[in-house]
Amino acid sequence: MGRVVQRAVSVAKPGEILGTWFYPGDELPDWADPLVTNETVFIPPGQAAKDPRDHEVESILNETSTATDYKRMNKTRLEELLRDRGLSPNGNKTELIKRLEEHDAATG
Confidence of residue 67 (pLDDT cuts 50, 70, 90): very low
| Cα gap 79→76, rounded to integer Å | 5
Q: What is the pLDDT of residues 24-51, one digit of tens each?
A: 888 888 888 888 877 767 777 666 555 5
Q: In which element (H, E) is residue 10 found?
A: strand 9-11
| Cα gap 37→74, rounded to integer Å | 35
Confidence of residue 90 (pLDDT cuts 50, 70, 90): very high
Asked whether the predicted pLDDT for residue 91 surpasses 90, the reply is: yes
| Domain assignments of the chain as residue spans, ordered by start | 9-41, 52-107
